[in-house]
Structure 1
Amino acid sequence: MKKTFPILFIIAALIITAAIAFGIKSTKTVDWEESFNEKSNKPYGVSIFYKELPKLFKNHKVRTVYHQPASYLQAHSEDSFGDHIAEGSFIIIGNSDYIEDDSIDELLHFVDSGNTLFISDYYFAQKIHDTLNIDIDYIENTKDSISYQSLKYFNLNDIAIDRNEGDNYFSKIDTVNHTVLGHSKIDYKHVNFIRAPFGKGNIYLHLEPKAFTNYNLLKEDRYKYAEGIISYLPENDVYFDSYTKIQTGYDGNVEKESNLSWFLEQLSFKWAWYTTLIFGLLFMIFNAKRRQRIIKIIKPLQNTTVAFVKTISNLYFETQDHKNLIDKKITYFLERIRTDFNMDTAVLNEEFIVKLVSKTGKKKEDVKKLIDYINWLRTKNEFFEDNLIQLNKLIEAFYLK
């Protein structure tokens, strides 16, 4: 072992020297990608705004929506299988063009029922344009990269937004029904924030999503502009859209990322980590040969069935393979129905529910809720932890009652 110390010392010195030299020569570039992701700490992420939402809406729930609005709002409507009824303000920051037509319909129904929809983006789905009778145009910034934002009914100085090559603005609105709430100025003032009543609720459309990003909230007093915009929304529960961020592919696996990823982005931490790994590898190489033979310990045979099941389930759960787990839970549940009650499970319709109720003596509403949820899961391509937990609760409730 003493002979290996000089070799390890020389290798360590070379690694540290290379790390220092690389650190001096390399410069970290800033990622200006407009992700509008609530988990991103980059300049144009919205993690600061997202973390401040509970403070802005005190005594109200702030929920993050990882599904298409249609599936989420339908699941959390009256007489559905969600754990609450969705009521309040639905907030979308950036990337709203990924929302499908059926989700637009569901959002409009959500507003028509007396709720609020707030979208801040450069443009909106065509269905929103057609429904609200609006048009959006673009003005190029030919002088510099700064545009000035202002809010109506607020004693607030014009807020500068830099790195702006141009502005989108409403070139057409319904002047009778729509209310102008804010302007942007490049050469001249143009409308960039309106309120449009729809049914019993209101739709707020804003055309400068960068106002909610980390870069602008931390610079000077620009946070006051974002604060003023949000103050128009009613005091109620908030539903923050994250599904559109997943669809863009930017930080799409943000919930599945290891915490190590942030450290690997930091040059010093990265080289410290690599150095540790190399030293560990060298230590194993030079100490691979033991000085004394291992004394074999013979343990009695154990029943490892439960441990095996736990290991396999933990493996699926930790790898976030929700689809596989959900498929298996449904398969095992239906197999037990076939075995215990001698029923055909090929078609899970109303007739199947009535027959299962008569054989099990369970309440029809409980059985129907479980079977409807299984049928709904079979129509989905993307699954989340909440789906697995809800399915497990319904199956356990079926056997307990």
Structure 2
Amino acid sequence: MKKLVSVFIIIGIIIGLAFLLDIQFTKTVDWEESFDEKSNKPYGISIFYKELSNIFKDQKIRTVYHTPYSYLYANSEDGYGEHVAKGNYIIIGNSTYLDYDSVNELLHFADLGNTVFISDYYLPETLTDTLKLNIDYILNERDSVSKLSFKSQKLKQNHTVIDRNEGDFYFSNFNRKNYHILGYTKTNSKRVNFLGVPFGTGNIYLHLQPKIFTNYNLLKDKRYQYVEGILSYLPNDAIYFDSYTKTYTAYDGDVEPNSDLGWFLNQTSFSWAWYTALILILLFIIFNAKRRQRIIKTIKPLQNTTVLFVKTISNLYFETQDHKNLIEKKITYFLEHVRTDLKLDTSDLNEEFMNKLTAKSGKKKEEITQLINYIKWLKSKNEFAELNLITLNKHIEAFYSK
């Protein structure tokens, strides 16, 4: 009875502490712009990433954890990858890691008739220099809201706004003759923030507002329609989604840890219920640790009858004088050993095979030649004597001996 009272007192203390802590501490929202496809935080892009399979139906969605230079070069016609990369290469945020080699590989990818899509505030200098682009920034002087729109009248219904936006990046200088203006951002005035750049036989699409792809904006009002309008410019083809920066920065602890319980433990009520349950289980174990157990009977281990089994089988073969069966089994087991342990093909016991077996086994060439030739001779016969079995066994035992 005393134990039960103690347990109830401890439970009451835990519940009281949980209630007090829940009142005193409020959960803060992490507004860091990680653009991580695994993150459920406001400025992660897990929703966008999950919806790609619904937008690009029946297309393969690949997540790329390497630089474009490493991945696209490996998966090219001259590379050593599993396939030839073709389709859409998408980069959302954190694109400034792209070095000279990766930018050139992306340009080559587009030149072959594919599509590159990058949405970021800043673009790699190598890319802007190659495409002769200038990007500037204008401060949002009135409020934190910007209007995002398309040039195409067909996408007029996809226009939207974005809040929590201190200013806008825009293309201040570009080739207006050959490049296609696809969209604008507007605070104090309308400026170009979405370009289509024909490159070789493919296209490069550059967008300067990656925040619109985040969880916060996709779940607010109908802003997802603007994202659908952007993706409508991409062909319905395979997707290569860049995740190199998320893997790279994970060692610095910048990426939300991938845990099945992560989201639930972030919910205050659930986390306290979870920890309370663990504490109660621990208390139950402590209070019941001294409980008596019945005597456990000693069970004798089973005897090893392997030797008896082998003797029985050998006597059976000896009495029946079935030399052919024994010879075939010994040859089969020996060749299986060669295939499994020495990794050699035993389909053709020719001179080349004997040379490889000699090199891998470390035996003399004469011993290997005698053994293999004898096996080939036995395979050509239909009737066998006891002497044939004894001779084969001697050759095989000599091979196994050190």
Describe the SS at the equivalent of 1:282: helix
Q: Which residue in 2 is equivalent to 1:194?
A: 195
Give the counterpart letter for 1:140 in structure 2: L
- Summarize the Cα distance change of 1:297–1:251 in structure 2 as closer, same or farther, 3 Å threshold: farther
Please state how far the C-alpha of 1:214 moved relative to its aligned partner: 1.1
1:9-56 CA-to-partner distances (Å, cap 9, x unmatched) read 110011012112221232222111111111111111111111111111
Please state how far the C-alpha of 1:294 moved relative to its aligned partner: 5.3
Q: Which residue in 1 is equivalent to 2:382?
A: none
Describe the SS at the equivalent of 1:196: strand
Q: Which residue in 2 is equivalent to 1:137?
A: 136
Find the aligned partners of 2:196 and 2:202 in 1 and give their Cα distance. 10
1:297-324 CA-to-partner distances (Å, cap 9, x unmatched) read 4563899xxxxxxxxxxxxxxxxxxxxx
1:185-219 CA-to-partner distances (Å, cap 9, x unmatched) read 11111110001111111110000001111111111
Find the aligned partners of 1:157 and 1:302 in 2 and give their Cα distance. 78
Describe the SS at the equivalent of 1:156: helix
The TM-score with structure 2 as length reference comes to: 0.72
Give the counterpart letter for 1:231 in structure 2: S
8 Å CA contact 1:161–1:216 kept in 2: the answer is yes
Find the aligned partners of 1:297 and 1:27 in 2 and give their Cα distance. 58
Mapped pair 1:286 → 2:290: no
Q: Which residue in 2 is equivalent to 1:60?
A: 59
8 Å CA contact 2:246–2:255 kept in 1: the answer is no
- Summarize the Cα distance change of 1:234–1:12 in structure 2 as closer, same or farther, 3 Å threshold: same
Please state how far the C-alpha of 1:140 moved relative to its aligned partner: 0.4
Please state how far the C-alpha of 1:114 moved relative to its aligned partner: 0.8
Find the aligned partners of 1:251 and 1:228 in 2 and give their Cα distance. 34
Greater Cα radius of gyration, structure 1 or 2: 2
Q: Which residue in 1 is equivalent to 2:22?
A: 23
Find the aligned partners of 1:125 and 1:221 in 2 and give their Cα distance. 31
The TM-score with structure 1 as length reference comes to: 0.72
Find the aligned partners of 2:14 and 2:102 in 1 and give their Cα distance. 54
Q: Which residue in 2 is equivalent to 1:113?
A: 112
Q: Which residue in 1 is equivalent to 2:48?
A: 49
Give the counterpart letter for 2:133 in structure 1: I
Deviates more, 1:72-81 or 1:160-169: 72-81
1:334-382 CA-to-partner distances (Å, cap 9, x unmatched) read xx9xx959xxxxxxxxxxxxx99x949xxxxxxxxxxxxxxxxxxxxxx
Q: Which residue in 1 is equivalent to 2:213?
A: 212
8 Å CA contact 1:76–1:83 kept in 2: the answer is yes
Aligned length: 312
Give the counterpart letter for 1:31 in structure 2: D
Identity %: 59
Give the counterpart letter for 2:272 in structure 1: W
Matches within 5 A, 1:308-327: none
Find the aligned partners of 1:286 and 1:172 in 2 and give their Cα distance. 75
Describe the SS at the equivalent of 1:32: coil
8 Å CA contact 1:98–1:247 kept in 2: the answer is no
| Unmatched segments (≥5 aa) in structure 2 | 305-337, 344-351, 358-402
Q: Which residue in 2 is equivalent to 1:241?
A: 242
Find the aligned partners of 2:144 and 2:263 in 1 and give their Cα distance. 31
Find the aligned partners of 1:241 and 1:138 in 2 and give their Cα distance. 25
Deviates more, 1:127-136 or 1:76-85: 76-85
Find the aligned partners of 1:253 and 1:169 in 2 and give their Cα distance. 28
The alignment yields a C-alpha RMSD, in angstroms, of: 2.7
Q: Which residue in 2 is equivalent to 1:277?
A: 278
Find the aligned partners of 1:195 and 1:302 in 2 and give their Cα distance. 78
Find the aligned partners of 1:297 and 1:70 in 2 and give their Cα distance. 65
8 Å CA contact 2:67–2:102 kept in 1: the answer is yes
1:40-85 CA-to-partner distances (Å, cap 9, x unmatched) read 1111111111111111111211111111112211222225433322
Please state how far the C-alpha of 1:237 moved relative to its aligned partner: 0.9
8 Å CA contact 2:147–2:161 kept in 1: the answer is yes
- Summarize the Cα distance change of 1:118–1:286 in structure 2 as closer, same or farther, 3 Å threshold: same
8 Å CA contact 1:37–1:251 kept in 2: the answer is no
8 Å CA contact 1:95–1:248 kept in 2: the answer is no
Find the aligned partners of 1:100 and 1:294 in 2 and give their Cα distance. 71
Moved over 6 A (4+): 250-253
Give the counterpart letter for 1:236 in structure 2: D
Matches within 5 A, 1:73-222: 73-153=72-152, 154-156=155-157, 158-222=159-223
1:74-121 CA-to-partner distances (Å, cap 9, x unmatched) read 222225433322100000000011223221121111111110000000
- Summarize the Cα distance change of 1:56–1:257 in structure 2 as closer, same or farther, 3 Å threshold: closer
Deviates more, 1:281-290 or 1:229-238: 281-290
Q: Which residue in 1 is equivalent to 2:5?
A: 6
Find the aligned partners of 2:182 and 2:231 in 1 and give their Cα distance. 12
8 Å CA contact 2:34–2:255 kept in 1: the answer is no
| Unmatched segments (≥5 aa) in structure 1 | 304-335, 342-354, 361-401
Find the aligned partners of 1:220 and 1:253 in 2 and give their Cα distance. 27
- Summarize the Cα distance change of 1:264–1:114 in structure 2 as closer, same or farther, 3 Å threshold: same
- Summarize the Cα distance change of 1:258–1:46 in structure 2 as closer, same or farther, 3 Å threshold: closer
- Summarize the Cα distance change of 1:300–1:253 in structure 2 as closer, same or farther, 3 Å threshold: farther
Q: Which residue in 2 is equivalent to 1:69?
A: 68
- Summarize the Cα distance change of 1:97–1:284 in structure 2 as closer, same or farther, 3 Å threshold: same
8 Å CA contact 1:123–1:207 kept in 2: the answer is yes
Matches within 5 A, 1:338-357: 340=342
